[in-house]
Amino acid sequence: MFALTLNRRASGNALDVDRVGLLLFVLGLLFVGWERLRPEMEQESSDPRAEEVVYYREAVAEVVDESEETLKTEEEEERRLKRVYEENVDNVITALERRNYFLGYDPTESRDQFLLHKKVLKRYKIELVPYRESWSVDLFAVGHNTVKTEILDMYDIVKSLEDQGSAVAKGPVSYFCGWWGTFLTVVTEFLDMEDQVIFPWIENKADLSGTKLSKSNRTLTRRQLRDLMLEATAQESNLIYIPPSEVVVKMLEVLNELNIVLLTYFNRVKARMPQLVDKNFTEDEYRLSLLPAISNHLRSGEDWNKLAPITVRWMREDQAASWQSEFLTRREKRKFSTWVRLVKRTHWELRDCVVERRTPKTREARQILAGA
């Protein structure tokens, strides 16, 4: 038995020795293989393409992290805006219950103070361009002086509305809206004429690209004016829903922007165009080709019978006579006094109604208001 046990131990030890030897042999092979493959792997890891792949993966990871952070921020902002909206709804309801229509100011402040001191029309200094001193100045002066004269009337109308404060009635605001319709016609007719007649004539010889009066910049200015005029016109419909004083406030906000855009454009033209025109054209070219085109364009408008009297209003008597000889036909000259009376009974009458705080005296003015 003892001998058998020794034999088994001896055979077991021999087996263990064989296993250990086999293990060492395998490890040796792995070591040799690793030593052979390591240089290739190191060379592979230094491959620039591999580095680009790693960089790309890291960059993607950063973008994903940033996107997740942005999404989280947007969700927080959305929740904040929802809270603000709900608070605003509560404020509106409270204001309506208290009949406090002017939101966003100290409740102890009267509506008159709000109207007079916080929402007033900015009155920029307006100077008419000298007329009949230089043909290159007259080219734009007629239209611009006409619009400026209308803006001066607007100042008087709005001053009366501001002075009435929250006590302003629906009537004066309606008169202003009626006056506003003709004002838009005057502005639109002259600016359309400049875009379609004067500037193309100038750009045949002079390059305006890269300037504040390039075609693209003029298009942008016209788009701004169009949007602002439409916004102001739309306020009349609000008379049905909100107090007249609030309609005035909303219109003042629009008119302040409108005046800035319009007067800035006038100043740019005055500063640059006369010298440019003098440099590239002669007065004979102006009178032979451009002046008839201007006359035809203005006279083709539906409201020429209103535009002509409004145009000469700011001129001296001799200047008005000279202008009429250039722009009116014989038949139109005979009708001109009738046209002036028409404008007085419609357009200027509505201005006087607001300024003098009275109702319209003429049938034509009442008809305009009835159709508004």
Chain segment 53-69, per-residue pLDDT in tens: 444 454 444 444 444 45
Using CA atoms, how far apart are residues 150 and 58, in angstroms rounded to an integer? 65
Band of pLDDT at residue 16, cut at 50, 70 and 90: low
Mean pLDDT of the 243-258 span: 91
Grouping H, G, I as helix, E, B as strand and the rest as coil, residue 292 is: helix
Helix %, strand %, coil % of the chain (to 5): 80, 0, 20
pLDDT at 112: 47
Contacts of 98 (CB under 8 A, 6+ apart): none
Rounded to whole angstroms, the maximal C-alpha distance in the chain is 153
Q: What is the pLDDT of residues 197-220, one digit of tens each?
A: 999 999 999 999 999 999 999 999
The 8-class DSSP code of residue 132 comes to S
Tokens of 285: 């070219």
Grouping H, G, I as helix, E, B as strand and the rest as coil, residue 323 is: helix
Band of pLDDT at residue 123, cut at 50, 70 and 90: confident
Which of 12-16, 132-136, 257-261 shows the lowest per-residue confidence on average (mean pLDDT)? 12-16
99: left (phi over 0), alpha (psi -120 to 50) or beta: left
pLDDT at 141 over 70: yes
Tokens of 277: 């025109």
pLDDT at 362: 79
pLDDT at 347: 95
Residue pair 175/360 in contact (Cβ under 8 Å)? The answer is yes
pLDDT at 370: 65
Tokens of 212: 């504040």
pLDDT at 314 over 90: yes
Q: What is the pLDDT of residues 327-366, one digit of tens each?
A: 999 999 999 999 999 999 999 999 999 999 988 887 777 7
Using CA atoms, how far apart are residues 57 and 73, in angstroms rounded to an integer? 24
